[in-house]
Structure 1
Amino acid sequence: MNPVPTLVDASLTVNAGYATLRFERDDLRNALTGTNLINDLCDTIAWANANKAISTLIITGAGKAFSSGGNVKEMRDKQGMFGGSQAEISASYRNGIQRISRAMHNADIVTIAAVNGAAVGAGFDLCSMADLRIGCEHTRFGETFINLGIIPGDGGAWFLQRLVGYQRAAELSFSGRIIDSKEALEMGILLECVATEDLMATAERYAQDYAAKPPLALRQTKRLMKLAQRQELGDFLDVCADVQAQCHHTKDHHRAVDAFVNKTTARFEGN
């Protein structure tokens, strides 16, 4: 396994088959701008993609918030990525917060957001980019950009409507309102809503389950699900046939079949 990345504003815990990234800037409600969390998150995803022993990445926040998104004080003072000419701000978005969107969308590993508290603005969008979202009674979501006279500059409108459909995404984006964990569960934003003390254990249960699956097949399954969103059926079926042929030639496939037939537990090696 490659060495873990050096993180500044987050911590990384590595377990058998999965890792947990925790934002450690509770003093700024884990804001993604004005901190090093963009670099920390993108570096961690790159590290996980390169490590075949990692199947899942859990993302959560320390303290009361998952992430407050953009640092509003920096917006007020026109500092950091919010300062400069229009061209400079545009470049700051491309080279800053939008790196998260690309990294999350291109993540080979399964991503789980364990939403420990408020996730608003870019924090909500980050959750929308994850494969799964687990919440608790303290979870709150808000697509709040409109309240500040701006738009989801991280591409959140692209992710949110794919998660909940156009109509619900439009209502959340036009109103900028905050929703609680109950409404988020009803909308399908949350897969599960559990007691606060059970949040991480629940996320880890999913991670441990995926870590026990054949690693190559798991990553290929995720890639195909992403590809299915933008390909016509005929083209997609052609890709599936080729990928399936590759899977049939892996040793993990043979291990899985033998275990199924012999009613034993297979140990997969990612080959």
Structure 2
Amino acid sequence: MSVSTSQPPQPVLQDALLTLEGRVATLTLDRHDVRNALTGTALADDIVAVAEWVNRCDEVSVLVIAGAGSAFSAGGNVKDMANRGGDFAGDVAEVAGRYRRGIQRIPLALQAVEVPVIAAVNGPAIGAGFDLANMADIRIASRKAKFGETFLNLGIIPGDGGAWFMQRLIGYQRAFELTLSGRVIDAEEAKEYGIVLEVTEPEALMEKVNELAARIAAQPPKATRLTKRLMKMAQRTELKDFLDLCAVFQGMCHNEPEHLAAVNAMLEKMAK
């Protein structure tokens, strides 16, 4: 019986765009009319659908998340908050259930993505939009980008898991200060704190992101996915157990055709 090598079709998205080129999938949040708000739109559904598709599609080695328009993402829809409508309507149990069925699916889905994720932060990333950027493995920002964990300014908490992600990214003390002050910082300050890897001119953002994505995508794809799994598991695994896992993953890599191909390519390069 033959084994099918067909790849899963791209998901049908409502409020975002998806392209795949050179093993790099680019998900563009496309609700610039509401500054790519993650509530009151279908963006949460779209992000989750793409995250799940990436894990099933062997043709993807990198996922880039970008925002259309002037903002990366404004987070929650403040008008809905004011009207106690949309995702924010109802009593405690109703709101909690809507969070679990809605925006909280994003961190769970992105945390499970098997390939490197790069956030191309073109403009403001505020509230849940800031948290979305922090769910990526790498952030590259335009000089027009701004970042703010602004939930307390509105009398709410980071309900999408932002407090979990940020302190793992930059440490408890700085994450605490940014979260409790609710202040908005520019791209250079974000780089100083280690939130973003690099800051570019606005017109150069996607070129820089795509350059990095292409370099990662050129690596052997199966080993790339295993390496990301190791990087994630290193954060929560004791050293002895982690080394046991490394040994098994290394055995898997040594038995993959892509390993021998990479070794031969290196030997040919050395011989020149």
Show structure 1 runs of 5+ residues with no match.
265-271
Aligned match for 2:39, one of 28, 33, 48: 33
Structure-1 separation of matches of 2:30 and 2:100: 24
Q: Secondary structure at the match of 2:199?
A: strand
1:37: Cα distance to partner? 0.3
Q: Tell me, what secondary structure is at the counterpart of 2:64?
A: strand
Query: What's 1:46 paired with?
Result: 52
Q: What amino acid sits opposite 1:158 in the alignment?
A: W
Q: Which residue of structure 2 aligns with residue 228 of structure 1?
A: 234
Rounded to whole Å, the distance in 2 between the matches of 1:213 and 1:2 is 22
Percent of aligned positions with the same letter in both sequences?
A: 55
Which shows bigger deviation, 81-90 or 125-134? 81-90
- The one-letter code matched in structure 2 to 1:215 is P
2:79 aligns with 73
Answer yes or no: is 1:161 the counterpart of 2:167: yes
2:67 pairs with 61, 70, 83, which one? Answer: 61
Question: In 2, Cα distance between the equivalents of 1:2 and 1:15?
Answer: 16
Q: Give the whole-Å Cα distance in 2 for the aligned partners of 1:52 and 1:215.
A: 8
Task: Show the 5 A alignment for 1:109-120.
Answer: 109-120=115-126
Offset of residue 50 of structure 1: 0.7
Amino acid at match of 1:93: Y
> For 1:16, which of 6, 10, 22 is the aligned residue?
22
How far apart in 2 are the matches of 1:14 and 1:245? 30
| Corresponding residue to 2:133 among 111, 127, 139 | 127
Query: 3-state SS of the aligned residue for 2:69?
Result: coil
Moved over 4 A (4+): none
Aligned residues: 264
The CA distance in 1 between the partners of 2:230 and 2:38, in whole Å, is 29
SS in structure 1 at match of 2:72: strand
Does the alignment pair 1:200 with 2:200?
no
Structure 2: 5+ residue runs without aligned partners? 1-6
- Structure 1 Cα separation of the partners of residues 21 and 207 of structure 2: 13
1:161, distance to aligned residue in structure 2 (A): 0.3
Given the alignment of the two structures, is residue 255 of structure 1 paired with residue 272 of structure 2, yes or no? no
TM-score by length of 2: 0.95
Give, in angstroms, the shift of residue 234 of structure 1. 0.8
Displacement after TM superposition at 1:45 (Å): 1.0
Shift of 1:78: 1.2
Deviation at 1:149, TM superposition (A): 0.7
Partner of 1:267: none
Aligned-residue RMSD, C-alpha: 0.9
Q: CA deviation at 1:207?
A: 1.0
Match of 1:147 in 2: 153
Deviation of 1:126 (Å): 0.5
